[in-house]
Amino acid sequence: MKSLSSSFNKGCEPKHNLGLGVRLAVLLLLAPIVVKAEWFGDARPMMGTEVSVYLWSDDSEDGLATLESVFQEAQRIDRLMSTYKADSEISEINRKAAQTPVASGAELFRLISRSLEISELTDGAFDITYESVGQHYDFRGHQRPDAQTVETELENINFRFVQLDDEAQTVRFGRDGVRINLGGIAKGYVVERGVSILREKGIQNAIVTAGGDSRLLGDRRGRPWMVGIRDPRKEGEVAISVPLQDEAISTSGDYERFFDEDGVRYHHIIHPGTGSPASGVHSATVFGPDAVTTDALSTSVFVMGVDQGLRLIAKLPDYEGIVIDSDGQVFYSDGLEQPAKPASE
């Protein structure tokens, strides 16, 4: 059983942001001991968010080169999977797959296939065809689709419209107007790939983060990493810190990409049943062995809500979850030992 500490508890570890970016859904809490020459780290804007790598290496040249290779890998994956890039494989699929089967590279094919498995697992809460509506949002420009557009595009949301041919490695859409977007799973994939590269290079202690998704390699040299789950309504503040090693953790929040209009928050996680942003939850965190899975599941649990979401997590023995609902109340999955309440409460 994992024991958690709440930021309200006395004796919580000191918090250092380390410049990894306050926009991260997961803030890393590092004690001063890590700020040594042997730790190498960098954070770069990528994939519409920030990718960061932090690792321990005995050799500075190797350490820096290894950092670089993880960033290059993130860039390669983004070029393949970004709907913002007209020449990406996924953009080609979105343009043509309603007319004809489109050949896809093995890597993209596998991730689309994994997305569809997670759709089955989550009864459609995770659905990459959310993009049929999602494409009409521009969060920076405060643009959202009107009610008529949502109604029309809602007809195009259903993961079963995505037909994969395993033999030919092609993707076909069963309906005109369907669009897909891997935004709910691709960052987890970047993190997994990053950690694989680090392992190949012999690194034993590291964190790779892309937006709200992180994977920890080993521990913080003798102690667990402390990963903070952000307070969804207080920027820069941590609600709960979780000691982790050799594990992946993902948080989906309604504070990552959003705008407020007339008291309503329009954010980036779309309920496939309504075509509108999912309500009832401020953030959903999932941790377990694989970052691709935690990424997709955190988005799913956000959509499913506290009860259904935590019931799903209870069925998955290797995964745990923490949900903060829209009243700020915190809910934990069964395998977690909850933090002691501070004496003043």
- Residue numbers at the binding site for Mg ion (CB under 5 A): 184, 252, 295, 298-299
Site string for ligand ADP, 158-187 (x = CB under 6 A): -----------------------x-xx--x
| Smallest separation (angstroms) from ligand ADP to the CB of 162 | 12
Residues 291-330, interacting with ligand ADP (CB under 6 A): 295, 298-299, 303
The listed partner (Mg ion, ligand ADP, none) that binds 277, CB under 5 to 8 Å by sort, is none
The DSSP output letter for 130 is: G
| Smallest separation (angstroms) from Mg ion to the CB of 213 | 7
Residues 6+ apart with CB under 8 A from 197: 66, 69, 70, 73
| Smallest separation (angstroms) from Mg ion to the CB of 208 | 15
What is the number of alpha carbons within 13 Å of residue 16 lying toward its C-beta?
8
| Smallest separation (angstroms) from ligand ADP to the CB of 148 | 21
Number of other residues whose CB lies within 10 A of the CB of residue 20: 23
Residues 73-132, interacting with ligand ADP (CB under 6 A): 126-128, 130
CA–CA distance, 281 with 324 (Å, rounded to integer): 6
Task: Please identify, using beta-carbon distances, which residue of 183 and 321 lies nearer to ligand ADP.
Answer: 183
Residue nearest to Mg ion (CB): 299
116 within 8 A of 164, measured Cβ to Cβ: yes
Question: Which H, E and C letters describe 138-190, residue by residue?
Answer: ECCCCECCCHHHHHHHHCCCCHHHEEEECCCCEEEECCCCCCCCCCCCHHHHH
Task: Please identify, using beta-carbon distances, which residue of 126 and 287 lies nearer to ligand ADP.
Answer: 126
Task: Please identify, using beta-carbon distances, which residue of 57 and 320 lies nearer to Mg ion.
Answer: 320
The DSSP output letter for 193 is: H
Q: By CB under 6 A, name the one of 25, 74, 171, 180 that touches ligand ADP.
A: 25
Task: Please identify, using beta-carbon distances, which residue of 210 and 217 lies nearer to ligand ADP.
Answer: 210
Task: Please identify, using beta-carbon distances, which residue of 130 and 287 lies nearer to ligand ADP.
Answer: 130
The helix (H) or strand (E) run that includes residue 281 is: strand 281-288
Total of chain residues touching ligand ADP, rule CB under 6 A: 24
232 within 8 A of 280, measured Cβ to Cβ: no
Task: Please identify, using beta-carbon distances, which residue of 70 and 191 lies nearer to Mg ion.
Answer: 191
CA–CA distance, 173 with 100 (Å, rounded to integer): 8
Which residue type, as a one-letter code, is found at position 104?
S
Binding interface with ligand ADP (CB under 6 A): 25, 126-128, 130, 134, 181, 183-184, 187, 211-213, 252, 256-257, 268-270, 272, 295, 298-299, 303
